[in-house]
Amino acid sequence: MISVLLPSRGRPASLAESIASLRNLAAHPDRVDVLVAADPDDPDTVTAADTCNATVWIAPTRYGYARLHEYVNTLASMSSTEWLLLWNDDARMLTRGWDARIEEARPGVLWPRHNGSPMLNVFPAVHRTFVETLGHFSLSPHCDSWVQDVATAVGAHHRIDVEVLHDRHDLTGGHDDQTYRDAQAGYRTSEYHSPELAAARNRDAGLLRKGWAE
């Protein structure tokens, strides 16, 4: 099975479309487990996730985008599947049988093509040993960058032939809403490159290198 880790806020209709794109194009939709994280002040997201038969975790308080990794880490801890796919409510799956391509891959970190570009690294699928070894998915709200940097350091960064549309305002013009603006304000790139987080990524790489070697 594959767990989809999907924090969402303020986009119930888009959330439903995003989940539908995953299930409608999956080779085995019954083996795709969608886990949604919602804020306690966002009942419409909870209702939409429930309607889509997703598992919903409601945060004790609104963490915001500066703490996005805390939503993701909690969802990852709830999963028991072999693979975990980081996902967004403004993403749409475009490749039929995407889940089979992930399940056929060797353990590591897998990257789909994003908006037709083979070089962009967003929406990683990680083998569950990644999370089990580190005890978390990411220690930064830049979850995809964290996974990319750690996986690259240990040579476990693999591209798969899966294409995703990221319908984000600065990429496509879509989803020009408060959620997008909150996200842009919440990410602090300078913190990602701080000595403390750089050291934490190096520790993660060391743990992963040792764990996967064993």
18 pLDDT exceeds 70?
A: yes
Residue pair 35/78 in contact (Cβ under 8 Å)? The answer is yes
77 pLDDT exceeds 80?
A: yes
What pLDDT does residue 214 have? 61
What pLDDT does residue 211 have? 82
Two tokens at 148? 């990319």
213 pLDDT exceeds 70?
A: no
Two tokens at 18? 């995003």
The mean pLDDT of 31-38, rounded to a whole number, is 97
Taking only the tens place, the pLDDT of each residue in 149-169 is 999 999 988 999 999 999 999
Percent of the chain surpassing pLDDT 90: 82
116 or 43: which carries more pLDDT confidence? 43
Q: Which of 83, 86, 115, 101 is nearest to 160 (CA)?
A: 101
d(CA 44, CA 50): 10
The residues, any chain, with a CB within 8 Å of residue 211's CB and separated by 6 or more, are 129, 133
The mean pLDDT of 127-152, rounded to a whole number, is 95
54 pLDDT exceeds 90?
A: yes
What rounded mean pLDDT belongs to the chain? Answer: 93
What pLDDT does residue 1 have? 92
Taking only the tens place, the pLDDT of each residue in 83-111 is 999 999 999 999 999 999 999 988 889 99
d(CA 184, CA 135): 27
Residue pair 4/33 in contact (Cβ under 8 Å)? The answer is yes
Superfamily of domain covering 2-213: Spore Coat Polysaccharide Biosynthesis Protein SpsA; Chain A (3.90.550.10)
What pLDDT does residue 52 have? 97
Taking only the tens place, the pLDDT of each residue in 56-76 is 999 999 999 999 999 999 999
What pLDDT does residue 122 have? 92
